[in-house]
Structure 1
């Protein structure tokens, strides 16, 4: 008979945790038999501890969502107090936590994005934003970039551009992909940011013309693509997309699930280009992921479509009180502790300069790019050819060795294909950030010597 007791002592045994995981848990995005997951027993601030009590500096923010770090006392207290008052209530009822969370979110969204539809996460936020755009315009197609990620549900994974789409793409949802700007691996033979911007916009306008503006409901873009490589768009690109959308009657959806809530050094990354989208999606950093929450911020024009017409969509846990209480505490802490300003400081004064120094020291760093606390290090076998250290949609022994070397020294890194992403909590101190960068430097040196000795 399966043991069902939930005595707290069970949670203090990491070996049991591992055994039960391997026996019963089906993990996402993984070949199950090959998994050897790290057991995390506790966390605090910028650190997590594994089952051997090794402390690891978390440069992943898990899946880039613990923007205020682990076990932030203000968020934990808010969840506890909300649980003692009103654990849950159906979304048809008004409740204080949801109302206050919506107010605080709307106080930071750009322009007239003042109405908030709550979801459980980023994928369903993008699903509903696309549904709203289709109903608002009466059109069906959605344009999105290659090298993008918008979620794992059916529609969201179809508009996704990265390889996670491939096994799930049935090609029947009106999704059309185009090339976004990415100067380091330019699809347009550009040599400057300005050329990349202009040629990317010309390409997008051509795609619009060939697909037919009368068929296109929306263009959805990550304001700064995250998992796909943290490619900060050239200045003026997002403004150019806004102009194309206005010209052709297309809804502009800004996916801020990963880049939003301070990650880029602004409340929302689209503010770097002074652009107001028609719909803005969010999740992750809105409450540091303490309780699942996402949402869509609507412009007044989109809202008016549904002012006297029922919106045909909803979720059982939309605006869950525990999640919204966590969001209120998160946003209040960000305001009072000037977290967004601190993120901008870390980018300008710590990550940017240090990564330039690393690139000068290590010849297998092909490119470094980012802003705020949102950075990518692109690793290559040859700087001249830009051959990636791992293939697109794959890994390599060198990348595996680099991750192992970093963890052995106390750093938990975020990797994707041939890249290391540096995305710690926004509350990370400058001292912690520099410590993590020193570990990365040491790991790069070790792996270079062992795996790619100079000829």
Structure 2
């Protein structure tokens, strides 16, 4: 594309004059200007390029400007740009069919939403109506969205000023590196976390609990891959007490973990995996090219609404342009081996490469992840596991940007989350940039 450097300042001036940003105090903002992107690279109006190892908000799984997805949107725009959700639409039906094929035979319907937050809202609603109960349990280390019930189900600081929704309680999920259970192994962490959850269920009143809502792999909270046996144990507790199990795969789904869904990547020794009753998705299903999300529904829950009215809906549920982007993205991911590429990159390049960096630099306390979904837990004291300061993270972020890499940071962590289409060469280049950044910032604290 033709770039006019004057547009760099104009973009920033217009943004600061007219745009209100999320999760921010507005006065001090100086947002990065992005003019375009392709694959795993973005650039500004001055032509400065960055390797995008943030995937924006961990959602451009298929990369920037994938031609198949862009073409699908354009083709749909020539046919029908919008339609009411009550109408049947061929593209919407194809999108639901594609999603269900990847989720597996346990699921029968898809309810489309505009994004991940309202997907979680509607999954909670379905669980409450299905069980006749009210309460929802979720973990403290979680993020489920910025709407009424979703933000209260969220466990981090964003919940606190927004607690207007009823019927929510929280518990601690497993996190062996910073264990709340004084565990000494992943297996012990799993057992103690499950014992804690069972105590919470009993204490809250099992007969009052409609759902347990979990990010299959908590993302913004730190890419917390659950230890062996944990999801199986949660499934057993849910079944024992008649509780609906919801997996939030908004960030972890559609290739991020090297599988179509994260729960499919977390297999037991016999190759089996835990299937929830409801799955929420968004982001990666079409890489955010057009906003879309949804709830994947098991027959037992879907069928209660064969006669009873489901009291929920959205004007843009199953919007044709979003549905075309889903069909285009899933078809391209399948035909081009993009899921397999994500698994390969994690297994053969990022996993070993990040582990080597951790062995080299004491500031990296732990490396965890799979596929193209990784986090470095950064510390100022390796023995005490003291989280790296905000100033240290800011310095690292600035250094990475100066070296041409767009990072994703959260709290004391550097998240390594490139698009699923990232190449071997790009992953190796990113590892070299991380190495240089850590080497040139030896006094992080």
User: TM-score of the superposition, structure 2-length normalised?
Assistant: 0.97
What is the Cα deviation at residue 184 of structure 1? 0.2
Determine the C-alpha separation between the residues in 2 that align with 1:285 and 1:12. Answer: 33
- Cα contact 1:256–1:281 (8 A) shared by 2: yes
From the superposition, tell whether residues 334 and 225 of structure 1 become closer, same or farther in structure 2 (CA, over 3 Å): same
Q: Which residue of 2 aligns with 1:164?
A: 158
Q: Which residue of 2 aligns with 1:3?
A: none
Deviations 1:413-453 (A, max 9, x none): 0000100000010000011011011101111111115x46x
Structure 2 residue 171 is the aligned partner of structure 1 residue 190? no
- Cα contact 2:4–2:45 (8 A) shared by 1: no
* Secondary structure of the corresponding residue to residue 108 of structure 1: helix
Q: Which residue of 2 aligns with 1:88?
A: 82
Matches for 1:221-260 after TM superposition, within 5 Å: 221-260=214-253
- Cα contact 1:266–1:340 (8 A) shared by 2: yes
From the superposition, tell whether residues 178 and 217 of structure 1 become closer, same or farther in structure 2 (CA, over 3 Å): same
Determine the C-alpha separation between the residues in 2 that align with 1:12 and 1:93. Answer: 46
Structure 2 residue 342 is the aligned partner of structure 1 residue 343? yes
What is the Cα deviation at residue 52 of structure 1? 2.6
Structure 2 residue 205 is the aligned partner of structure 1 residue 212? yes
What is the Cα deviation at residue 291 of structure 1? 0.1
Structure 2 residue 70 is the aligned partner of structure 1 residue 71? no
Structure 2 residue 353 is the aligned partner of structure 1 residue 354? yes
Q: Which residue of 2 aligns with 1:141?
A: 135
* Secondary structure of the corresponding residue to residue 43 of structure 2: strand
Give the unaligned 5+ runs of structure 1: 1-7, 391-395
- Cα contact 2:140–2:156 (8 A) shared by 1: yes
Q: Which residue of 2 aligns with 1:388?
A: 387
Q: Which residue of 1 aligns with 2:192?
A: 199
Deviates more, 1:217-226 or 1:16-25: 16-25
What is the Cα deviation at residue 9 of structure 1? 10
* Secondary structure of the corresponding residue to residue 32 of structure 1: coil
How many positions carry a matched residue from both structures? 438
Structure 2 residue 294 is the aligned partner of structure 1 residue 295? yes
Determine the C-alpha separation between the residues in 2 that align with 1:11 and 1:409. Answer: 20
Determine the C-alpha separation between the residues in 2 that align with 1:115 and 1:79. Answer: 23
Deviations 1:153-186 (A, max 9, x none): 111000001111121124x511100000000001
* Secondary structure of the corresponding residue to residue 34 of structure 1: coil
What is the Cα deviation at residue 337 of structure 1? 1.0
Match for residue 47 of structure 1 among 41, 50, 64: 41
- Cα contact 2:113–2:317 (8 A) shared by 1: yes
Q: Which residue of 1 aligns with 2:172?
A: 179
* Secondary structure of the corresponding residue to residue 309 of structure 1: coil
Deviations 1:399-423 (A, max 9, x none): 1110010000100000001000000
Matches for 1:11-160 after TM superposition, within 5 Å: 13-160=7-154
Deviations 1:244-277 (A, max 9, x none): 0000000000000000001001111112141111
Q: Which residue of 2 aligns with 1:363?
A: 362
Determine the C-alpha separation between the residues in 2 that align with 1:235 and 1:11. Answer: 52
Determine the C-alpha separation between the residues in 1 that align with 2:283 and 2:232. Answer: 25
* Secondary structure of the corresponding residue to residue 295 of structure 2: strand
Structure 2 residue 303 is the aligned partner of structure 1 residue 309? no
What is the Cα deviation at residue 21 of structure 1? 0.5
Determine the C-alpha separation between the residues in 1 that align with 2:49 and 2:283. Answer: 24
Determine the C-alpha separation between the residues in 2 that align with 1:12 and 1:109. Answer: 47
Determine the C-alpha separation between the residues in 2 that align with 1:193 and 1:292. Answer: 37
- Cα contact 2:117–2:147 (8 A) shared by 1: yes
Determine the C-alpha separation between the residues in 2 that align with 1:427 and 1:359. Answer: 25
Give the unaligned 5+ runs of structure 2: 268-272
From the superposition, tell whether residues 91 and 12 of structure 1 become closer, same or farther in structure 2 (CA, over 3 Å): farther
* Secondary structure of the corresponding residue to residue 312 of structure 1: coil
From the superposition, tell whether residues 86 and 360 of structure 1 become closer, same or farther in structure 2 (CA, over 3 Å): same
What is the Cα deviation at residue 110 of structure 1? 3.2
* Secondary structure of the corresponding residue to residue 36 of structure 2: strand
* Secondary structure of the corresponding residue to residue 166 of structure 1: helix
Determine the C-alpha separation between the residues in 1 that align with 2:118 and 2:4. Answer: 34
Extract structure 1 runs of 4+ deviating beyond 2 A.
8-12
- Cα contact 2:3–2:46 (8 A) shared by 1: no
Determine the C-alpha separation between the residues in 2 that align with 1:69 and 1:348. Answer: 20
What is the Cα deviation at residue 321 of structure 1? 0.2
From the superposition, tell whether residues 11 and 111 of structure 1 become closer, same or farther in structure 2 (CA, over 3 Å): farther
Structure 2 residue 268 is the aligned partner of structure 1 residue 269? no
